[in-house]
Amino acid sequence: MNPTSHISLPKSERGAVLIVALIMLLLLTIIGLSSMRGTALQENMASNMRDSNLSLQASEAALRKGEEAVTKKFLDGTLNTLETADVTATYSNFPGTSKDPEYKITLLAKIRTSTEAGAPIDDEGAMVRVESDGYGLNVNDSSAPTSQTQLRSTFLVEQ
């Protein structure tokens, strides 16, 4: 054997497998990047949905707290305080939100009836509007909550 002899390759093989492999690798990279982008988008959507749901729950809790305050005022006989001014308060220490939910109570009408002629008319109930604002956990650059839910109910208390 001659040490200077070279192994010769057929003339038809000129690196076609390398080009096909590189194209396949490029396609796999594109598929991987698009799936990562889709996953990140789904994660953002889930976070926004959770924040929106949290603001709804906070607003619902504040609405119930306002209705509870109306019932307490009615039972204590202090419903007359609503005639002069609306009552605004917060649901303190509501967990998991960036800002405590708030509620506002507005007196719409008092229910006064009497079945006896000449008898004094007593307050038998009232119709109030309770409005609430609930906030989510996420905040924007100016520290304001990114999600807010407003609810309103018309609430009737009577004997």
Per-residue model confidence (pLDDT) at position 3: 61
Higher confidence at residue 65 or residue 110? Answer: 65
Instruction: Report the distance separating Cα 138 and Cα 143, nearest Å.
Output: 9
Which residue type occupies 20?
V
Q: What is the sign of the dihedral through the CA atoms of 73, 78, 82 and 86?
A: negative
Q: Which two tokens stand for residue 128?
A: 């109030």
Residue identified by tokens 């509620």 is 103
Determine, yes or no, domain membership for 146. yes
- Average confidence score pLDDT of the chain: 86
End-to-end CA distance of the chain: 116
Determine, yes or no, domain membership for 67. yes
Range(s) of the domain holding residue 127: 16-158
Residue 148: its H or E element: strand 148-158
Q: Which residues, 6 or more positions from 140, have their beta carbon under 8 angstroms from its beta carbon?
A: 146
Determine, yes or no, domain membership for 148. yes
Integer CA distances (angstroms), 4 to 1, 7, 34, in order: 9, 10, 52
Determine, yes or no, domain membership for 32. yes
Per-residue model confidence (pLDDT) at position 57: 94
Average pLDDT over residues 85-92: 91
Confidence check: pLDDT of 78 > 80? yes
Determine, yes or no, domain membership for 83. yes
Determine, yes or no, domain membership for 96. yes
Provide the number of structural domains found in the chain. Answer: 1
Determine, yes or no, domain membership for 6. no
Can you list the positions of beta strands (E) in 1-147? 87-90, 102-113, 122-135
Confidence check: pLDDT of 83 > 90? no
| Residue % of the chain over a pLDDT of 70 | 87
DSSP type of residue 5:
-
Which residue type occupies 120?
P
